[in-house]
Amino acid sequence: MLEKIAQNIAESASGVIDCEVLVTDSKGIIIGCSDTRRLGDLHEPSVGVMKKGVPAATSMEDAASMTKVKPGYTLPIQMLDKTVGSISIAGLPEDVARYGLLVQKQAEIMLREEAYLQSSFLRERALSSIVDNIASFSGESGGRESILLQASEAGFNLDRCRLAIVVETRELRAGGGQAIFQTMERELRAVFASSRNIICPQERYKFTIFFAPSWRSGDTPEDAASVLSQDFVRNMQAKGIDINMSIGPAGSSLTELADSLRAARAAMRIGSLLGVHGVIQARDYYAEMMVDSLPRGRRFGLIGKILGPMSMRGCSSELCDTFLAWCDAPFASGEVAEKLSLHRNSLQYRLKKIRQLTGLDPWNFKDAFQLWTAFVLTKLDSGGKPQ
């Protein structure tokens, strides 16, 4: 690990104290130096310093008796109580020794930071692999023990997880993606603070959470997850960041956890296309998932047959949104009209227009189901914006 950052350590330390600085590995070979011509040379004073574990000065006389060595002050570099290398400052020892502790601590801090970054990177890769394996898991395919072992080696217990939550930003400000992602991660770890929960950063500024609820009387896992998700969305909105969260159905096995993850992902995609924002419960979108599973060729044909002349004229976004809103509360016309900022008469006019154009009666259950299917498929196939 020291080899990766040795040159950076030498150059940054040299820039601070304006002296030549070199870094060696545990064998005394120079692996970083502000004078790159010395790379690969043996630095004899470092061998003794690392063996004894204490700093040492190299006088002009000492340097003259060695090969390719300059006078200076050498200190060991330690990590986890183990000497992993050395750092040396060239110059008269009485002049440069005062910089010794500074460059030593700078080197050790940079080494710890590199170790932390490498550990975080490996951890994120492991978590991403766990998510991918769970997403593709089914009880029939086998591999359950392998996934549980993989999670256990990363320090997690999947047996306690009951459902999956998918987290996405609705939009990212130009150039601020990484900062927003870090803010999201900090806030997620604060809201979903239980060590039982598994928070997995994903590509494209997304997260997957495997939620392990702390059981309380009367709470379902979906309800507990919804409360925390609402808190997170509000906290992020207060920071000017719009978030969507999709909560999969709860289960008690790895197979059901995999189903929860797939359902949460499907609900996130469908909810986004239908213009749903905030917290999305996958259980509210099973019907949409069912029609979304139709083959693409069948979908186009079905839309044409159901909408008939209306599809020839173009499926108005206004009529589509009106009908889908009305389906949410068909016996509360006043509520629907208020939601759409319409007069009740305007709502009734639009519903009658749909009946006139399609020949299907919105007040008849079977006709309404056909219209709902066609309108939902139209929005899903056109990115949420019927033409």
**Over the stretch 142-176, which tens digit does the pLDDT of each residue have?**
789 999 998 998 888 999 999 999 999 876 654 56
For the ranges 41-45, 232-236, 355-359, the lowest mean pLDDT is seen at 355-359
Q: pLDDT band at residue 28, thresholds of 50, 70 and 90? A: very high
Beta strands in 62-155 (DSSP E): 72-79, 82-90
pLDDT, mean of residues 269-298: 91
pLDDT, mean of residues 34-53: 94
CA angle 240, 321, 243 (to 5 degrees): 20
- Sheet containing 198-202: give its strands across: 198-202, 206-211, 163-169, 243-247, 279-281
Residue 361 reports pLDDT greater than 80: yes
Q: pLDDT band at residue 368, thresholds of 50, 70 and 90? A: very high
Alpha-carbon distances of 332 from 326, 327, 329, 349, rounded to whole Å:
8, 10, 5, 16
Closest CA to 70 of 30, 25, 106: 30
More confident residue, 285 or 179: 285
Token pair 């609900």: residue: 267
| pLDDT tens, residue by residue, 239-272 | 989 999 999 999 999 999 999 999 999 999 999 8
Mean residue pLDDT of the chain comes to 88
Gap between the Cα atoms of 20 and 332, Å rounded: 80
pLDDT, mean of residues 236-241: 91
Residue 193 reports pLDDT greater than 60: yes
CB-neighbour burial class of residue 122 (10 A; exposed 0-12, middle 13-18, buried 19+): exposed
